[in-house]
Amino acid sequence: MRNRSLVLPLWLLLCPFSMRAQESVVKLPDAPQLQAQAQQPDPALQPPETNPAPPAPPIPPTGETLTRQQAEQLALKNNPRISVAALLALAQKQVVRETRSALLPTLDGNVTGVDAEEASRLSSGSLAASRLLYHVGAGVDLNQLITDFGHTSNLVASSSFEAKASEQRSEATREDIVLAADIAFYNALEAQATLQVAESTVNARQTVSDQIDALTANNLKSTLDQSFAQVDLSQAKLLDLDSQNQFDAATADLNEVLGTTNDQQYSLVDDPLPPQPVATSAEAVIALALQQRPDLLALKLNHEADLRFSRAQHDQLLPTVSGLGVVGLTPVGSSTYFTTNRYGAAGVNIGIPIFHGFKFHAQATEADLRARASDEQSRVLMTVTAELLKEANTALDLADTRYRAGLSSIVELSQAQLQQTQAEIGEANARFDYEADLAALRFQSGSQP
């Protein structure tokens, strides 16, 4: 009887727990549904695989296909700086012809008719005494420089060096444009690669977010996991938006360098083969730069032109010897004064500069100082070029190290989405930074293709 009296209180105590257990059993899904849900992978709880599945392929860019070589050709064809430099070089060649004309004879024709007071001999102004006779005549005057002791020859040499320097400056402008096109191309290519990574990241995180939403709806995931997935997806969309803005800005810069007036869109294609090194060592690159860089060659030619011009200015203090000649006819005139209907004469003139207010001395001194200044400027640029080449080599080595490290770290970091995205973007940045630095090194060494 005592045992029966204990059963009732014990049953009353355990009854609520049994009812809760029945309710929880009722809330569980059927066995087939559990089995189907158990077969769905959990991205957050999946163990890292040895060979993870490759990421989704990037969305191909739209627009006209453009390679680096095509970008360089378009820039050289359309950029207005190329035309300006070429026209200035052609204009400088005409200066050489202008200067050389002083060495050639001058031949002038004259036709003169005079109605004067008979037997007038004195006058003022433009009519010389020999013309104050009634007559009509025609003839030619010849003037030939015999020697000015190197003055004109040095002027011609100076202008010739200037013309050659102008050609080198035109070539330097071409290389500037090629470098600008390469840098703009690689910047746009880097932005395009980053945009593709961002778009792939959005697709991947959208898939994960959809899966977690489904698991959360079936009470197999908490709302905290759903919130984290939404945050990751929002971050990916922000990355995509920022990458799109950077790509649009890089494309605009590329169009500006290429001389394209409209907002042209491109599908940029990188070189299929890795770029070749400029030289075997930094010393070899510096030697190439001093031999090949057109801006350095232009400075050397400018210095030679300044030296020749300085000599020419000193030669102004020397005499000038010229030959003169005149011949013609006077079919109309008084027989008293024009006993024959033709005339002719020849002579030599020696001009000796005596005093011109110290003008020639000042010009010679000015030319000497400018020649010294151009020599110093050439030396400074050579020194700066050597330093820039060393810095370019260092930057190239760093870019190469980053590039190689980026390639090796992609597989290791591909397990986590965020780290994978950063690795892909870092690899693209390192790769195209390396190629951009190599293009700058080619420019510094004067080895543009």
Q: Each residue of 248-302: pLDDT tens digit?
A: 999 999 999 998 878 889 999 988 876 676 667 767 777 777 778 888 889 889 9
Higher confidence at residue 219 or residue 44? 219
Query: Strands 106-114 and 320-333, how do they pair?
Result: unpaired
Closest listed residue to residue 100, CA positions, set 143, 148, 152: 152
Q: Computed from CA positions of residues 35, 40, 43, 48, in that sequence, does the dihedral angle turn out positive or negative? A: positive
Q: What is the pLDDT of residue 415?
A: 35
89 in Cβ contact with 167 (< 8 Å): yes
Q: What is the pLDDT of residue 128?
A: 62
pLDDT band at 308 (very low <50, low <70, confident <90, very high): very high
Q: What is the pLDDT of residue 122?
A: 60
Higher confidence at residue 394 or residue 75? 75
Higher confidence at residue 389 or residue 13? 389
| Mean pLDDT along residues 112-138 | 71
DSSP secondary structure code for residue 137 in this structure: E
Q: What percent of the chain has pLDDT over 70?
A: 68
* pLDDT > 50? residue 146: yes
163 in Cβ contact with 145 (< 8 Å): no
* pLDDT > 60? residue 127: no
Higher confidence at residue 201 or residue 35? 201
pLDDT band at 447 (very low <50, low <70, confident <90, very high): low
Q: What is the pLDDT of residue 409?
A: 33
Beta-strand (E) ranges in 334-415? Answer: 342-351
CA distance 194 to 242: 10
Domain residue ranges in the chain: 64-103+150-318+357-445
pLDDT band at 120 (very low <50, low <70, confident <90, very high): low
For residue 114, the surrounding DSSP H or E stretch is strand 106-114
* pLDDT > 60? residue 309: yes
Q: Please, what is the average pLDDT of the chain?
A: 76
| Mean pLDDT along residues 409-437 | 50
The token duo for 418 is 């965020």
| Mean pLDDT along residues 377-392 | 71
- Please state the pTM of the whole predicted model: 0.68
For residue 188, the surrounding DSSP H or E stretch is helix 151-217
- Choose the CATH number for 64-103+150-318+357-445 among 3.40.1160.10, 3.20.20.370, 3.90.850.10, 1.20.1600.10: 1.20.1600.10
Q: What is the pLDDT of residue 399?
A: 63
Q: Write phi, then psi, for 365 (nearest 5 degrees).
A: -65, -40
CA distance 275 to 279: 12
For 96, 406, 412, 416, 445, the CA distances from 423, given in Å and listed in that order, are 59, 7, 9, 10, 32
The burial class, CB within 10 Å (0-12 / 13-18 / 19+), for 399 is: buried
Q: What is the pLDDT of residue 29?
A: 37
Higher confidence at residue 96 or residue 31? 96
* pLDDT > 80? residue 47: no
* pLDDT > 80? residue 162: yes
* pLDDT > 80? residue 388: no
334 in Cβ contact with 208 (< 8 Å): no
CA distance 327 to 323: 14
* pLDDT > 50? residue 16: no
110 in Cβ contact with 139 (< 8 Å): yes
Q: Write phi, then psi, for 348 (nearest 5 degrees).
A: -125, 135
Q: What is the pLDDT of residue 62?
A: 64
For 109, 111, 160, 289, 370, the CA distances from 377, given in Å and listed in that order, are 48, 54, 20, 16, 10
Q: What is the pLDDT of residue 378?
A: 77
| Mean pLDDT along residues 192-203 | 90
Q: What percent of the chain has pLDDT over 90?
A: 36
For 64, 89, 171, 174, 294, the CA distances from 84, given in Å and listed in that order, are 28, 9, 12, 11, 17
| Mean pLDDT along residues 114-132 | 65
CA distance 34 to 28: 9
Closest listed residue to residue 253, CA positions, set 264, 238, 243, 242: 264
* pLDDT > 80? residue 218: yes
Return all residues near 268 (Cβ < 8 A) that are at least 6 apart. Answer: 61, 66, 67, 185, 188, 189, 192
CA 61 and chain centroid, separation: 25
Quick one: angle between helices 417-445 and 282-292, nearest 10?
50
88 in Cβ contact with 180 (< 8 Å): no
Closest listed residue to residue 152, CA positions, set 325, 356, 321: 321
CA distance 217 to 29: 13
Alpha-carbon torsion, ordered 72, 76, 79, 80, to 10 deg: 160
Higher confidence at residue 41 or residue 143? 143
CA distance 66 to 75: 12
